[in-house]
Structure 1
């Protein structure tokens, strides 16, 4: 996949239970939710609209937890992400994973939500890809540790396009270190989203993220995460790599590296649409050469574009910029920041 999942067609549900009536509190879970929502909505990471990220903090009832999942699963057609952090309980007879609510009790596992209900909601989604992230615990551990027997839940990732990432293997402890702002596992995820991975390309797929988290946890002597996926699900691009940068003066045009000052872009911004401009009795046509995610580095000389404003339509356009495009016409090559309407006019979608 050569781009991040379409933010307009994707949904994320972040659920965490930090405070309990009968189980030890996990204060860092609250920060997990806020930090994940913040980074996933950042344009340079994924760029999800804020209203496509649902935060459910301290759910009290099953409906509090499941209704947002069902709603998001119904809306998503590209990628659906479900994240849970908190205590995880196991049903003693079947070993079924249950996700704890505020009032859940380890002696009454039926007071927690069965992961099977979450799984069924996800499997019923129209989303082409479903991602499950479980940073959950088993009750009865002292504050600062979480035990996470999730193997049964992970093994249920049997549907095409489903990827399940869990904090630990069965019968191991997942850490919520006292004094640290995030649980250990989620802290490593956040580090990747916020800082990227050196030596990787401009996009990060799920397997790259998993392998990096696993290596980081191993190096710190912390419990190792595990994953389950089907076929090529691990190759799904999730976020942009903030550690990636192209060499100065180099851009990619139709798969080739082209050296030149700003890729021969004129960077002078048009105040009109140049797709059909009379030129000595002829029509000058513009040809789309490349489309990328919006990157102000392409537009250093353009006052509107560098501010994230549409330079294709100029001052008459107040629409949201969705991409940077390299356009070739009779005047040469130029990078433009474009709105969705301009992108359609150029015969491209994003």
Structure 2
């Protein structure tokens, strides 16, 4: 049995040498195959669809600087983002006319373009009618120069000691009948804010996902070989947490998809998906299949949003890609959750009324006692 360091911010073994460390991925990586290591690593990344056109970084760790759209600013708690933030403004938000700044941004210390904000140009119309101010420059990244003790080394990445400078990005595509050239200038500014998690939280999410891989059906791993991982999960009350069974993240000790409640097979983690046998999802190849998605992916029990940070260890699991597609931006309710609402849904099957199942308070998610699910896909329909 492994005993961990008593320091609450350290997950190394007791009486270890050197510095304390919360993050210790060797707890699973020393025994995992390469595919499963990569699976866990990718789960710790941000992957916004179409992110490049919004100035977002892709496939970088969740503990990174975030972009806050100006229109979402009132919804967020900026203190959540320990790794920094930058505010994205559209020209129509920052300007009221050519070279005329909206008065709400004049002498406003909380939003300063070139400091904690930038303007994103996405159309030629905005670029021509609301152009950058004459003294503005394209955003750039500068690294710290030990020789000059200044930030004066141009960089294309955000690693190391860097600063952002400049005022705007160009993400203007040549589309339709527009014969002008594409304008793509300035580096990505940060990650999609709802996907953010600080480094320690991100690590614990990955530790949970590693444990769930070990508990898949036909897993090649013996859980007794992962005493250090088990000790980490135990230390943070994640090894025997009741939420696994209550939310159907696991059932009877096996990893399950929380939506359909089928057992996750280990081979599904890395096999590419096919929609041939998925009724009602024939168009999903454009949404999921085009990204070479695997059959099983990271599954969030609660949708990621701006108002709160939802990428936390008790709300991550593995789930089928098709179930993710069906669920969309909805919370995944377990039968246990719905039973507590006491909202019964009945149907008349020709032989009288009978209980179909229980619904959430919004009545857009129903689950039967056997786990069957009905999700409202448009208002008034199931």
Instruction: Give the TM-score of the pair, scaled to structure 1.
Output: 0.27
Instruction: Give the TM-score of the pair, scaled to structure 2.
Output: 0.25
Q: Which has the higher strand share?
A: 1
